[in-house]
């Protein structure tokens, strides 16, 4: 999960009580850089779904069904699988300027206790941060739920992307003593791989970005 900047002006169709209008979908797709806000997989405009961070089925949040700040772009798999109950202590909002999800969440890859394979790892940076802890557990369920074929497919896609970026990083390290176009080409490739527009940005940066923060956007 990465920070995102939501446009200030809500899409017009929200006024008429429609939260899945074309203008809403297009705005969410653009503002969240074409990605699911939870798993960061790239999602086409036609496949995007709308998630209510505060569930519209919860009576406490019924009035937020068409609230622009409560709507998030989500892939259909995460929309099916993410916990629907809003936990005590809340969840992080990646568009809230005062929440900074990237600073409050540890997002990286670590060996599985059972298989030894690297799997996504999420935790609150501050153990007393309840909303960050809740969000970490939400992300862990989406990525690591036992027995879930869809979670396994997601982990496989992340592993493949990590291999691609690791190859770029190794090429950059081998070119470290070289100046000129070779090094620039390597860094350009890594800059794109670490970009917020790339898939799985938070996990890629957490696992492979140490020392290369100058390439982050």
- The pLDDT assigned to 177 comes to 58
- Are 204 and 44 a contacting pair, CB within 8 Å? no
- The pLDDT assigned to 144 comes to 95
> From CA 172, how far away is CA 79, in angstroms rounded?
37
- The pLDDT assigned to 179 comes to 63
Task: Give me the tens of pLDDT residue by residue for the chain, a chain 217 residues long.
Answer: 999 999 999 999 999 889 999 999 999 999 999 999 999 999 999 999 999 999 999 999 999 999 999 999 999 999 998 888 999 999 999 999 899 999 999 999 999 888 888 999 999 999 999 999 999 999 999 999 988 899 999 999 999 999 999 998 888 887 665 567 777 788 888 999 999 999 999 999 999 999 999 999 9
- The pLDDT assigned to 146 comes to 87
DSSP symbols for 63-114: GGTT-GGGEEEE-HHHHHHS--SPPTT----TT-TTT-HHHHEEEEEEE-TT
Strand 105-111 relative to strand 118-124: parallel, antiparallel, unpaired?
A: antiparallel
């Amino acid at each position: 999960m990465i920070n995102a900047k939501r446009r200030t002006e809500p899409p017009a169709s929200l006024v008429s009580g429609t939260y899945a209008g074309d203008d809403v979908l297009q705005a969410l797709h653009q503002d969240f850089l074409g990605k699911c806000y939870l798993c960061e997989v790239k999602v086409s405009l036609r496949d995007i779904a709308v998630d209510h961070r505060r569930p519209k089925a919860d009576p406490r949040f019924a009035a937020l069904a068409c609230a622009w700040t409560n709507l998030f772009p989500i892939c259909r798999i995460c929309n099916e699988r993410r916990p629907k109950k809003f936990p005590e202590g809340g969840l992080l909002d990646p568009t809230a300027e005062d929440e900074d999800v990237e600073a409050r969440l540890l997002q990286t890859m670590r060996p599985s206790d059972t298989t030894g394979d690297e799997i996504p790892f999420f935790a609150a940076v501050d153990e007393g941060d309840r909303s960050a802890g809740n969000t970490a557990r939400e992300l862990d369920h989406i990525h690591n739920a036992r027995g879930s074929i869809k979670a396994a497919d997601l982990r496989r896609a992340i592993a493949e992307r990590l291999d691609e970026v690791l190859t770029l990083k190794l090429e950059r390290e081998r070119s470290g003593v070289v100046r000129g176009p070779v090094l620039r080409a390597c860094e350009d490739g890594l800059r794109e791989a670490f970009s917020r527009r790339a898939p799985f940005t938070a996990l890629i940066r957490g696992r492979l970005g140490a020392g290369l923060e100058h390439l982050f956007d």
